[in-house]
Amino acid sequence: MIRFVTAGESHGPALVGIIEGIPAGMDLSVDMLQHDLSRRKMGYGRGGRMKIETDEVRFLSGVRRGKTLGSPITVVLENRDFRNWDVDMDPNPREGEPGRVVHVPRPGHADYAGAVKYAHQDLRNVLERASARETATRVALGGIARRYLALLGIEVCSYVLRIGQVEIPAPISEELLGDLERLREMVMGSEVFCPDPAVSASMVEAIREAKKAGDTLGGILEVRTNPLPVGLGSYVQWDQRLDGALARAMMSIQAIKGVEIGLGFESSRRFGSQVHDPFITGEGATEIVRSRNNAGGVEGGVSNGQPLVVRVAMKPISTLYEPLPSVDLSTGKSAPATIERSDICAVPAASVVSEAMACLTLAQAVSEKFGGDSVEEFLAHFHASETRNSIRWNRK
């Protein structure tokens, strides 16, 4: 079983993540995680913090001489910005030095509900942990999960479909979707991780306009895999459904407010005949194949051998440079909402985080199905399974 937790405050000394259940003997180095961490810092519309942080990973446990040990793997990312916050974020008592105290909650952020829940007077005690800085740890752990999935040839990628009102007008061609390497190249060639250059330029313009107005923007992104092995997840119990696990994982990301699998909400508008993916026989009638993938790779909570397609909606960033009205909780008087250094649009970054969460969720499902304490044992279990990509006719 794979499980993971994260810890750390946005301006604290460091972020920490622990993942357990990765088999022994897997190649792993910090370099393998660094690319995703750099991608998370990118995207037009990010704030100044991203220029401060290097997000270099260090392993504290679970890896020795480039191989996993089978024990819990601990990753640490130092917050370079801590040096500007060492007094405010000092874990030791500092009598008579309250530091920079926050009393005015930002509508849309965790500030108010978190302060009431944990009885905090200083909203910094909430926002430091609620901040999406935490997602850097998820991306590091997601990179480990990505290596684990790669042992089975599973690849995960993502791209941005919409920012505010600007969206890709037509579906991305099947040819491009079938070539994840090329798709990834096109995504990386865009400042907003959108594979359509003309639409990318309009998205950048929309973010620029929002910034000028002191406002923020959200959007929609899609996460996609190559064809998955059949049988990840299960219909036998509510909490074993793969679609349910993915929806929860995506909704756990800060500011994510909607998740669709495959055709998603659009399927509710169509007749069944236009939604469900017919079974047809493949070459020589030895395989069953599907003529389309409206189900997004999951039927009955189980992966069906098709690529996984998950779409995620992100709300606009809630810290506004032209702040909304709020109330100072220390005086009860009206006041503009607090301004923390902030992104204008973080949809591209959220696409990297969504990939990480997809990797972690799929890794959990893969390890439940195939298990294995060592890579050797894991691969032996996998190869013993006949279910990859298609179900054979006349299975014995």
Contact residues toward ligand FMN (CB under 6 A) are 47, 109-110, 130-132, 135, 253-255, 315, 317-319, 342-343, 346, 349-350, 353
10 Å CB burial of residue 120 (0-12, 13-18, 19+) is: middle
CB of 375 to ligand FMN, least distance (A): 32
CB of 143 to ligand FMN, least distance (A): 16
Our CB check for ligand FMN shows the closer of 21 and 43 to be 43
DSSP E strand boundaries for the chain:
3-7, 14-20, 57-61, 63-64, 67-68, 73-78, 156-163, 166-167, 219-227, 256-261, 279-281, 288-290, 298-299, 302-303, 307-314, 325-327, 334-336
Cβ-based neighbours of 20, under 8 Å, separated by 6 or more: 2, 3, 4, 71, 72, 73
Our CB check for ligand FMN shows the closer of 290 and 311 to be 311
CB of 145 to ligand FMN, least distance (A): 18
Yes or no: say if 77 and 56 are a contact pair by the CB < 8 Å rule: yes
Amino acid at 45: G
Rounded to an integer, what distance in angstroms lies between the CA atom of residue 321 and that of residue 313?
Answer: 22
Rounded to an integer, what distance in angstroms lies between the CA atom of residue 3 and that of residue 122?
Answer: 32
Q: Which residue has the tokens 């051998």?
A: 305
Our CB check for ligand FMN shows the closer of 41 and 241 to be 41
Our CB check for ligand FMN shows the closer of 319 and 367 to be 319
Rounded to an integer, what distance in angstroms lies between the CA atom of residue 193 and that of residue 202?
Answer: 13
Our CB check for ligand FMN shows the closer of 186 and 312 to be 312
Our CB check for ligand FMN shows the closer of 40 and 290 to be 40
Rounded to an integer, what distance in angstroms lies between the CA atom of residue 75 and that of residue 61?
Answer: 8
CB of 319 to ligand FMN, least distance (A): 3
Our CB check for ligand FMN shows the closer of 120 and 276 to be 120
